[in-house]
Amino acid sequence: EVETKPRSPASEKANDYDVVVIGAGIAGIYQAYRLREMGLRFRVLEAGSGVGGTWYWNRYPGARFDSESYSYAYSFSQELLAEWNWTEHFAAQPETLSYLNYVTDKFELRSDMQFNSRVKSAHYNESDCKWIVTIEDGSAFSCRFLITALGPLSAPTMPNYEGLGEFTGESYQASLWPKEPVSFAGKRVAVIGTGSSGVQLIQEISKTAKQLTVFQRTPNWCVPLRNAPITKEEMESLRAGYPEMFERCQASPGCFIHAPDPRLTMEVPTDEREAFWEKQYNAPGFGLWMGNFRDAFISEEANAVLSDFVARKIRQRVKNPAVAEKLIPKNHGFGTRRVPLETNYYEVYNQPNVRLIDVNDSPIKRVTANGLMTSSEEFEFDMIVYATGFDALTGSFDRIDIRGENGVPLKKAWEHGPETFLGIFVAGFPNFMMIAGPHMALGNAPRGIEYGSEWISGLLRFAAQKNITRIAAPFEAMQSWTEYVRGLGTELLATKIDSWMTGVNKNVAGKTQRCVIRYNGPATEYRKKCDEVAKANYQQLDLS
């Protein structure tokens, strides 16, 4: 299926490429496929020892999709869609990682990828309009175009506790989980953090740990995943429905298979509303979040009634009323932060070996050799698990020394929050393009990634045809796009809440204030805007 065109002559300098891609996750793999198709000379540099990105790093027990596996896979190849069978509606991490390895091998992309190659710096050189990319071992690569496929959630963060290095037991960050098996059996385990990662981990650890102590700062509204195996017959019927399913994803605001209900919450009679939510709560996946009434996450009144519905569920599931109250968020409504999907998460707190500590009541003061000390108690643990999240979207850029024209660091250019044009370009950084970075419509990530990568590929094809060697976004274009993105979704309750989605990570200096790091409009609108730029032969860009 892949048409491999002849590469550029071998006489070129060994480490000189048309394109360098940073990252071999879902975006980097797909970009490699498109670059190969165009016959460009490229190199994918990847920090991990294999492909997979998010699904390579997040190998903690319990890690799995919470979007339907088939809706989260690549859609570009009919052959791939025909060949690959998913075994569960929400596949676990090992299956997704196998899938991404399968794709890489099927399209023979591995030979153009280089692993264990964490990029340290990327500097733009004005004299030849090329980038010099350096990896940690000191090797350098030059390229005309630099494409970042760093992942929106790939810069894990740790709390700034005193004594972090003093603990003598095992300690793990969820997103940097070792490849070797980790056993919780018979151990006293602490988990810090109750986001999607923490929730998935807690469910698993509680099964075998002698004691599990969960340290919670902000509870999240979790709803059931309702995973199930996919039978052979079911897989065939899902396959037959692919065209319609991908169309549905493309038409929905977040590219998910669930689309909002056009009704307004308070216009629906109480009984009918409750029945609708009950149905969503009992159905698999994100229905209650993505498929809710259209004002559920805009209207305070509607959101309060919906939150009350979910709070009642938590109270029904958690036996100890005091624990249930701790698990019910009080400072934000349902769906205003990322909703973790769970399997018996709330029931975990009915187990005698599990204890919930609210760190707002008793803050963690320090890590000790034997465990953790809070303001009211000293805890001994055999293991501490940090499920403390990521420096989202911009964090992975901050960790690389990226410099554009006049040596300006990207970190400096973004010190007041990211500024982009189309979520792809940054003015002052010619020949630099981002996939799945800030301000690109993502939602169901692979859907947004495929679009972004295809758009960039279209531009590179245009550049090749016209002999263009410098692509730059003008400052005015960046300013007006950034202003547009900052004005999107202001009516959403989510934009008034601290979370990674609003750029807040209290463990990172300079990331404690909310800013617009995501594209909060519908993906349909995002694609329309990008398509218009392409159709007008990229006139909004400076091309030479």
Binding positions for ligand N01, rule: CB under 6 A: 65-66, 153, 159, 174, 192-198, 200, 217-218, 338, 359, 387-390, 500, 506-507
In the complex, the smallest distance separating the C-beta of residue 407 from ligand N01, rounded to whole angstroms, is 33
Q: Please state, in angstroms and rounded to a whole number, the distance separating the CA atoms of residues 22 and 133.
A: 9
Residue 366 · residue 223 · CB < 8 Å: no
In the complex, the smallest distance separating the C-beta of residue 63 from ligand N01, rounded to whole angstroms, is 6
Q: Please state, in angstroms and rounded to a whole number, the distance separating the CA atoms of residues 311 and 309.
A: 6
C-beta of 389 vs 522, nearer to ligand N01: 389
Q: Please state, in angstroms and rounded to a whole number, the distance separating the CA atoms of residues 465 and 486.
A: 35
C-beta of 66 vs 295, nearer to ligand N01: 66
C-beta of 65 vs 221, nearer to ligand N01: 65
Phi, psi values for residue 281, rounded to 5°:
-65, -35
In the complex, the smallest distance separating the C-beta of residue 174 from ligand N01, rounded to whole angstroms, is 6
In the complex, the smallest distance separating the C-beta of residue 338 from ligand N01, rounded to whole angstroms, is 3
C-beta of 51 vs 456, nearer to ligand N01: 51
In 3-state terms, what secondary structure has residue 43?
strand
C-beta of 133 vs 385, nearer to ligand N01: 385
Residue 250 · residue 448 · CB < 8 Å: no
C-beta of 213 vs 388, nearer to ligand N01: 388
In the bound complex, which residue of the shown chain has the CB atom lying closest to ligand N01?
195
DSSP alpha helix (H) spans, 72-195? 78-83, 93-106
In the complex, the smallest distance separating the C-beta of residue 212 from ligand N01, rounded to whole angstroms, is 16
C-beta of 107 vs 221, nearer to ligand N01: 221
C-beta of 107 vs 334, nearer to ligand N01: 334
Q: Please state, in angstroms and rounded to a whole number, the distance separating the CA atoms of residues 168 and 381.
A: 9
Q: Please state, in angstroms and rounded to a whole number, the distance separating the CA atoms of residues 515 and 66.
A: 26
DSSP alpha helix (H) spans, 261-413? 270-282, 287-290, 300-317, 321-327, 345-348, 395-398, 410-413
Nearest to 224 by CA among 132, 381, 344: 344
C-beta of 198 vs 428, nearer to ligand N01: 198
Residue 143 · residue 131 · CB < 8 Å: yes
In the complex, the smallest distance separating the C-beta of residue 285 from ligand N01, rounded to whole angstroms, is 11
In the complex, the smallest distance separating the C-beta of residue 438 from ligand N01, rounded to whole angstroms, is 15
In the complex, the smallest distance separating the C-beta of residue 455 from ligand N01, rounded to whole angstroms, is 23
| Structure-token pair, residue 278 | 């009950």
In the complex, the smallest distance separating the C-beta of residue 68 from ligand N01, rounded to whole angstroms, is 11
Half-sphere exposure of 462 (CA within 13 A, CB side): 18
In the complex, the smallest distance separating the C-beta of residue 66 from ligand N01, rounded to whole angstroms, is 4
Nearest to 104 by CA among 34, 159, 33, 183: 33
Residue 88 · residue 229 · CB < 8 Å: yes
Strands 140-148 and 432-434, by their bridges, are parallel
C-beta of 18 vs 391, nearer to ligand N01: 391
DSSP alpha helix (H) spans, 39-77? 54-57
Q: Compute the residue count for the chain.
A: 544
Q: Where are the beta strands (DSSP E) in 368-423?
A: 371-374, 378-380, 383-386, 401-403
In the complex, the smallest distance separating the C-beta of residue 154 from ligand N01, rounded to whole angstroms, is 10
C-beta of 18 vs 342, nearer to ligand N01: 342
| Structure-token pair, residue 116 | 């264990």
